[in-house]
Amino acid sequence: MMRLHNLRPRPGSRHRVKRLGCGESSGHGKTSGKGHKGQKARSGGSIRLGFEGGQMPLIRRLPKRGFNNAAFHKRYAIVNLSDLNAFEAGAVVNEQLLRESNLVRGHFVGIKILGDGELKHDLKVEADKVSAAAREKIEKAGGTITLREGRTPKADLVHAVGEAGTSTGEGSVEPALQATGKKKSSRRLPAKVKALAKKKTSQES
């Protein structure tokens, strides 16, 4: 019978520590496995990845071409419907609740609900994105889905343009800007430019 006093680690998972500097006959004496002199033989000495002794490293010698938008990539926390069955019926599922339940963790720009699995009861889900299948299943179970606002200001302007009835080639977006309460920006000319323009008009007259 296994008890606390006879627990043992798995064979091979633990081994004795290599003892260094215990004489030349030990095989790890004198230089203690670090070789003769040099940066790597010193305590605290290390060489960063890609360092080639001071010469131009390979990553800088190779030509760079094309565009990579990895720096602009937006990461969304993915939550499936099968994960939401852990909550009680009628619960409000938001980012705070998902973090407390460890369903999402880390840094991300928003939460996206995907339709993998079946939802057994109604829930009030608050997310930034939702797939068409997930929305259909949530509403079929009697729940609601609410998209969080304030993450994409550009989408609000596009929505306002659509409501104002303007599209590409039909005119300007001034009606949409009036609908959103935004004024048309106007650049102020410097005083020196105004003075030159006034002097020119007076000379022409």
For residue 189 the two structure tokens come to 């000319």
Q: Is the pLDDT of residue 91 over 60?
A: yes
Where is 194: in which H helix or E strand?
helix 191-204
* pLDDT of the residue at 42: 92
CA distance 53 to 49: 11
What pLDDT, in 10s, does the model give residues 58-78?
A: 999 999 999 988 889 999 999
CA distance 84 to 101: 10
* pLDDT of the residue at 159: 44
What pLDDT, in 10s, does the model give residues 142-173?
A: 999 999 875 544 444 444 445 555 444 444 44
Q: Are 141 and 120 in contact (CB under 8 A)?
A: yes
* pLDDT of the residue at 185: 47
CA distance 93 to 109: 17
What pLDDT, in 10s, does the model give residues 103-139?
A: 999 999 999 999 999 999 999 999 999 999 999 999 9
* pLDDT of the residue at 195: 75
| Ranges of H-type helices in 7-144 | 58-61, 81-84, 95-100, 132-140
CA distance 26 to 19: 9
